[in-house]
Amino acid sequence: MKIYINGKFYDKDNAKVSVFDHGLLYGDGVFEGIRSYKRRVFKLKEHIDRLYESAHSIMLRIPMTREAMIKEVVRTVKTNNLDDAYIRLVITRGVGDLGLDPRKCYAGPSIIIIADKINLYPEATYKKGLSIVTVATVRNLTEAINPQIKSLNYLNNILAKIEANNAGSEEAILLDSMGYVAECTGDNIFIVKSGQLYTPPQCMGILRGITRDAILEVARKAKIAVHEHVITRHEVYISDECFLTGTAAELIPVVRVDGRQIGDAKPGKLTLELLKRFKDLTKTEGVKY
Ligand SMILES: Cc1ncc(COP(=O)(O)O)c(C=O)c1O
């Protein structure tokens, strides 16, 4: 495996950053998780745009144009000769002193690109569906750290994941401060009711997932009614189908929430139809290499 750090490739054992990097010391940085399918990097422009928007929001100036970043991502997957890959693109504030003042990170940001494989869940879980729980940890408040910023500080999500694991579950639903359903630890949430698709809107304090948008795109093309609408836990419990979306997990059915069976406790018809259409989209969309 060859890992890209600031324009050079390193073997896995030699791919290192300083212990003074503020990405490590403070979680000061931004990242993206991207997938490639059959030598096409899926929605690469969208991921790069979101990366630069996250960076802009935390006043981290990435020392490279978006076009150049696209080329470096493609170069990294190509160098690793992977047909299907999970790409982790990380920008840290860079090396500073032990204080948190980002102005003292004189060396500038570190740019890291890792191209590898990832399987979040075993194949059987995709067939059977997930059992998930709502957790007490509330999603980061929009006015504190906006969840739209895909920052290196994922403690909010990790705490929720720990709570889910403690409850014997793989994934957690986080609510917003009003008690509405926001999203899961690394995925957006969808429900189906009477043949229509519902997902919380961007203003609910969620990360606007690129897979989420791709699902909305294929659903609209398939003439399925979609609603970006606030969702309560009750609406999740009484839904006909439920599924999660994210670059790493892709699309995974949910069959039980807080002990309540969803539909007939099997991956739903519309869920499977959308999964098929999503897979088709990954075959045609993306930057080729
Ligand atoms: C908190 C959170 N929500 C949703 C998502 C899904 O986003 P995407 O589909 O862009 O991977 C992710 C993953 O990046 C995430 O970390």
CB of 188 within 6 A of ligand 1: the answer is yes
DSSP string, 12-63: GGG----TTBHHHHH--EEEEEEEEETTEETTHHHHHHHHHHHHHHTT---S
Read out DSSP for 231-246?
Answer: --HHHHHT-SEEEEEE
Indicate if 14 and 84 belong to the same structural domain: yes
Our answer on whether the CB atom of 205 is closer than 6 Å to any ligand 1 atom is no
Q: If you measure from the C-alpha of residue 118 to the centroid of ligand 1, how many angstroms do you get, rounded to a whole number?
A: 15
CA of 9 to the centre of ligand 1 (A): 27
Beta carbons of 211 and 252 less than 8 angstroms apart: no
Residues 127 and 268 in one domain: yes
Q: Do residue 219 and residue 239 come from a single domain?
A: yes
pTM of the entire predicted model:
0.97
State the residue range of the domain holding 65: 2-116
Percent of the chain with pLDDT over 90: 99
Ligand 1 contacts CB of residue 209 (under 6 A) = yes
Q: How far is the CA of 187 from the centre of ligand 1 (A)?
A: 5
Residue 109, domain CATH:
3.30.470.10
CA of 99 to the centre of ligand 1 (A): 30
HEC assignment per residue over 176-194: CCCCCEEEECCCEEEEEEC
The four Cα atoms 207, 35, 73, 203 give a dihedral, to 10 degrees, of -10
Residues 154 and 275 in one domain: yes
85 and 137 in a single domain? The answer is: no
For the stretch 41-96, pLDDT in tens is 999 999 999 999 999 999 999 999 999 999 999 999 999 999 999 999 999 999 99
**Residue 146 shares a structural domain with residue 104:** no
Q: Are strands 196-199 and 226-228 parallel, antiparallel or unpaired?
A: parallel
- Ligand 1 contact, 200 CB (< 6 A): no
Cβ neighbour number for residue 103 with a 10 Å cutoff: 8
From the list 38, 43, 128, 150, the catalytic residue is 150
pLDDT of residue 163: 98
The span from the CA of 170 to the CA of 1, in Å, is 29
* Residue 141 and residue 180 in contact, taking contact as beta carbons nearer than 8 Å: no
CATH number for 158: 3.20.10.10
In order of 55, 128, 129, 190, the CA distances from 125 in angstroms are 35, 5, 5, 18
- Reduce the DSSP state of residue 230 to 3 states and report it: coil
pLDDT per position as a tens digit, 197-255: 999 999 889 999 999 999 999 999 999 999 999 999 999 999 999 999 999 999 999 99
Number of domains present in the structure of the chain: 2
Whose Cα sits closest to atom 15 in ligand 1? Answer: 186
